[in-house]
Amino acid sequence: MGAEPVGTDAVAVRAAVAAAYGKRVSSQRGCCGGGRQKNVSEIAPQVLGYTDEDVQAVPAGAEAPTFGCGNPLAFGEVRAGETVVDLGSGAGFDLLIAAERVGPSGRVIGVDMTDEMIERARANIAAAGHANVEVRKGLIEDLPVESGTVDWVISNCVINLSPEKPRVFAEMARVLKPGGRMLVADIVADDLPAGVRHSLAAYSACVGGALSEEQYVAGLTEAGLADVEIRRRTTYTCAELAEFAEASGLVSAADDQADSEVVRRLAAELGGKVASIAVFARKPELPG
Ligand SMILES: C[S@@+](CC[C@H](N)C(=O)[O-])C[C@H]1O[C@@H](n2cnc3c(N)ncnc32)[C@H](O)[C@@H]1O
């Protein structure tokens, strides 16, 4: 698919990404759109497209920072009683919002590989008192979810982090019911310099592994999904990228100077080449 990191060692990439997000949830830093997440109710509506009502899904006192780059649920019609699966559910912000939409007769399942994130999400679900929301530890490339059981797959700023994106797209198609739909907020990028593509810090910053929009649409289509549609596109300026890199701690907390330098360059050079998108697609109904 053309946007995988050097070596394409999937195990090593996932280990680096899990380590980065394990640290980030402890330090409350965002990634590709949210910046420093001290007060989600203050920044989320403006930056990511959440409404005040969405933010109220997070119980008072709970720490449910969003590490996302959009609000995938803003573009869908998730209804009471439906089943939603969130790929890379992080600290659970979108799980809590989805829970409000599906109500007690519905079901929400988060999947994440990072223990610190899972622990935080489970604490938030317990604080909100939802009996029908759970987080399963697993990979988005091998979803611990039964085939054909899901009405909506959602995901927020995660698929760019996968070193095996065709597997993720295939898994989304597998778990959806015929006619089921997906809504994904993610980062796309064009013409990334090799130095950025080959940096694990840039990969963990949601940029190094980003597909182009065309590759994204082609990947979903190849997985058998239909009606693929870009419902929102926000292209980042140099200044915004610099702010995100700084605010997310990627510049100051990069593991070594070389990585830190790559992230700085990324912010300075990539204005206009990196965007967040919201993508919709549908699994076709069974014929006849
Ligand atoms: C940028 S954060 C987004 C979290 C959440 N969706 C949000 O909007 O706040 C990425 C999340 O995806 C998880 N993740 C990344 N790659 C994954 C993979 N291959 N399998 C499972 N989880 C993954 C990370 O552990 C992390 O929690």
Ligand 1 midpoint to CA 258 (Å): 24
The pLDDT tens digits of the residues spanning 82-109 come to 999 999 999 999 999 999 999 999 999 9
Residue 179 has phi, psi (to 5 degrees) of 90, -10
Regarding pTM above 0.85, the answer is yes
CB 204 within 8 A of CB 161: yes
**Which ligand 1 atom minimizes the distance to the CA of 141?**
19
Q: List the domains of the chain with CATH numbers.
A: 6-282 (3.40.50.150)
Identity (one letter) of the amino acid at 144? P
Q: What one-letter code names the amino acid at 194? A: A
Going from the C-alpha of 223 to that of each of 68, 141, 170, 177, 284, the distances in angstroms are 24, 13, 5, 14, 11
pLDDT digits (tens, 9 = 90+) for 37-79: 433 444 455 567 788 888 888 777 667 777 888 888 887 789 9
pLDDT in tens, 182-241: 999 999 999 888 877 888 888 888 888 999 999 999 999 999 999 999 999 989 888 777
Q: For ligand 1, what atom is nearest to the CA of residue 86?
A: 6
| 155 Cα nearest atom in ligand 1 | 6
- Provide residues with CB under 6 Å of ligand 1: 14, 17-18, 21, 31, 66-68, 88-91, 93-94, 112-114, 117, 139-141, 156-158, 161-162, 206
Give me the count of residues in the chain: 288
